Chains A and B, each alone.
Chain A
Amino acid sequence: MSHQPQQQSSGQPIAFVSAQALRARMHDAVNDPHLRQSFRGAMDFLMAKRAAQFPDQDELDSLRTLSEGIRQYSLSKLPELLEQLEANLTRNGVKVHWAETPDEANAIMLDIARRHSAKLIVKGKSMVSEEIEFNHAMEAAGVGALESDMGEYIVQLAGEKPSHIIMPAIHQTKQQIANLFAEKIPGVDYTDNVDALIRIGRNVLRDKFESADIGLSGVNFAVAETGTLCLVENEGNGRMCTTVPKVHIAITGIEKIVEKLEHVAPLYSILTRSATGQAVSTYFNMISGPRKAGDKDGPEEVHLVLLDNGRSQAYADEQLRKTLQCIRCGACMNHCPVYTRIGGHAYGTTYPGPIGKIVSPHMMGLEQTHLLPTASSLCGACGEVCPVKIPIPELLIRLRGEANSAPHANPAMVGQGAAYDPKISFVWRMWARLYGRPATYRAFSWLATRFRALTPRKQSGWTVARTPLQPAPRRLRDMLKDRR
């Protein structure tokens, strides 16, 4: 089943709608000078910071090859590793749940919340929780869900969605955030001093950590051999959410798994360096169970929700499976010329940028997302910086093919053929016939040069921003003949 976020909408509107509106939104974004300035500045900053972390090209190459190898190895054993993870987590006292769809995942977590009569769930950063519209589902059921990562908190307060998977509020200026805090947080006066703003957020959220019934988090790496959930963060809110409330729920996609604990070392190193250009994050939090007899703190219950939501579809195809190597660093968006110009919101999907274009079609189906893979110049920057060497440009081409080919039996993905147009298909077939036979091609090129004056001045999409194409007065073959 494809996930259709707009169907879950009730009450508060969800900013994310069908990708059909992508062109209009991109047009608006490109014409917004403030947005372009914010993203240009932020992306330049992040690219420079990443580059500074990899002064040694050999080390980078070797680490990328190793990281790719670890991710591919893990995926090659995915079903066994998931069972091993489940067995070891269960042994450690963690309850493991499985969900095929966002609705199932939300129902599982709502059930846990109801069993504990929870009023407030405080959240660490989790893109999977965004993917399933967790906050919305909880609010609809009368349970409060509060973001505690500073960027996510800002975005939630503004009624928006993250525009970047690592830096959710990257589209907001400090003046906008200052206005937002003054307007939304009682007793707060306008200040655009960043330290003061962070202090305000800290004070509001400390009370929430203290009083929340449940803490929710994502997972960066789940280690099968030990039954350990690893979280990468700088703020300490992830530690708060996983330590202070009586119940901790972690949610992750089924692909975020490694077999051995030592596999985490290279992946963690390349993750923080690729993401924000940090040698290491402030905290690396390895959770292997709830409070044990004798322990003085920590949650009494720990749950892990393993979500499929289209991942098994990507897994089923050898090429598309590479999508699942992703460790969610965001380097592909930081280096993407399209993302830099339109920002994260224009894509209309939870995961923006190059990774969003290759992962969203599996989550939402090609019907809604077939335009996404076309929002790329195929410059290759994303593939070049990817720490686990996902061939993103190749996958974009593959997805374009899936979307535009004639619908057929046993498609590799939901929505295959969604962009198929018999007329366009006919034109390309004719073109192939013309160019595939030397005699017809020669006749065509002879006619094209003779009748070049008849070339139309308007050539649909091409002439929107370019001068019309016109055949040359003489063919290359004729010019070559003269030279001999």
Chain B
Amino acid sequence: MSARDRILAKLRAARPAEPNALPDLDAHYTPRVRGESKAERLARFRTGIESFHAEVHISSEADWPALLARLCADKKVATMLYGADTPAGRRLDQATFPATTLRPWAGQVEDLKADLFHRVDAGFTQTRGAIAETGTLMLWSSEAEPRTLSLVPPIHFALLDAATIQPTFFDVLRTENWAAGLPTNALLISGPSKTADIQQTLAYGAHGPKELVVIVINAEGDAQ
């Protein structure tokens, strides 16, 4: 008998005859629905993520690449890595980035590990959406935007469409039905990397990005 079989046999012998009733999550969440407008959700998201030391800039569908270029210049980003094969990636044009070399991700991480760790100053990604309640970005890794893009470079620029901000994590899981198909890595990100492990003193830039910069587009109007 294997360890697996022995453990399962012990548990089966002891398990209650009938499982408990399925917990009622709606009983907790439904009475707490806020019914906020898009602008209110954006405002709450912004307050949340700014309290975690992220920078938030409001821009527009037309202007965000220029704003990103300006932010890169301000932050002295010499090289920015990004996924070229995405709607946002296709909008980036080296000509608008006078101070920064744009480097599209190419190949496997092993091919660019040394550069990724030592020579890339910033990573740029799209986001799947955000959560108003906690000030949280949602990222799904993909072939075009690998996991390390938002992790290893010291600055992470994230593009967020205000229409994709949802009230709570629970709402996201329900309405987008994440259980039906998750990527190899789904991430919730609420601010730059931090630690309070030394005498409860908060310090940013523990192991991940030291700065998280969110560029919000489509903030106008009141689409759902």
Contacts and interface: CB of A to CB of B under 8 A. Distances in A.
B28 A297 contact: no
Interface in B83-135: 105, 107-109, 113-114, 117, 133-135
B191 to A, nearest CB: 5
Interface in B146-161: 146-148, 151-152
B22 A73 contact: yes
Interface stretch (A128-136, A204-212, A374-382, A468-476): A204-212
A315 B16 CA distance: 10
Interface string A51-65: 000000001001100
B34 interface: no
A260 B14 contact: no
B68 to A, nearest CB: 22
A460 to B, nearest CB: 40
Interface stretch (A20-28, A166-174, A358-366, A423-431): A166-174
A210 B117 contact: yes
A100 B3 contact: yes
Given A78-B11, A244-B148, A291 B184 contact: yes
Contacts of A279: 48, 133-135
Nearest to B180: A226
A417 interface: no
A150 B198 contact: yes
Contacts of A289: 184
Contact of A265 (B147, B173, B196, B203): B173
Contact of B2 (A63, A98, A288): A98
A282 B23 contact: no
A70 B208 contact: no
B21 A73 contact: yes
Contacts of B185: 243, 285-288, 298
Contacts of A285: 185, 187
A129 to B, nearest CB: 17
A104 interface: yes
Nearest to B83: A296
A258 B63 CA distance: 44
Interface stretch (A229-237, A348-356, A403-411, A446-454): A229-237
A249 B112 CA distance: 24
B198 A154 contact: yes
B91 to A, nearest CB: 21
B168 A69 contact: no
Interface in B10-39: 10-16, 18-25, 27-28, 32
Interface size class of A (residues with CB under 8 A): 35 or more
B221 to A, nearest CB: 28
B7 interface: yes
Nearest to A101: B3
Contacts, number: 254
Contact of B197 (A154, A228, A290): A154
Nearest to A195: B203
B195 A234 contact: yes
Which has the most chain A C-beta neighbours within 10 Å: B27, B133, B206?
B206
B59 interface: no
B197 A98 contact: no
Contact of B28 (A62, A284, A287, A294): A62
Contacts of A235: 193-195, 197, 206-208
A76 B179 contact: no
A226 B148 CA distance: 23
B206 A236 contact: yes
A299 to B, nearest CB: 10
A197 B197 CA distance: 11
Contacts of A201: 206
B148 A243 contact: yes
B147 A239 contact: yes
Given A194-B203, A266-B25, A240 B192 contact: no
Contacts of B136: 280, 284
Given A79-B8, A235-B195, A296-B143, A263 B3 contact: no
A190 interface: no
B217 interface: no
Contacts of A82: 7-8, 11
Given A205-B207, A234-B193, A280-B190, A287 B7 contact: no
A286 B10 contact: no
A452 B201 CA distance: 58
A289 B21 CA distance: 30
Nearest to B187: A285
B206 A234 contact: yes
20 contacts: A46-B200, A62-B27, A76-B18, A79-B12, A151-B197, A169-B197, A170-B200, A210-B114, A235-B194, A240-B151, A244-B109, A254-B7, A262-B170, A262-B179, A280-B190, A282-B192, A283-B190, A284-B188, A296-B108, A298-B109
Given A77-B15, A284-B187, 17 more contacts: A69-B20, A73-B20, A73-B21, A100-B7, A172-B198, A198-B203, A210-B114, A262-B174, A264-B173, A280-B134, A280-B135, A280-B190, A283-B188, A283-B193, A285-B185, A315-B11, A316-B14
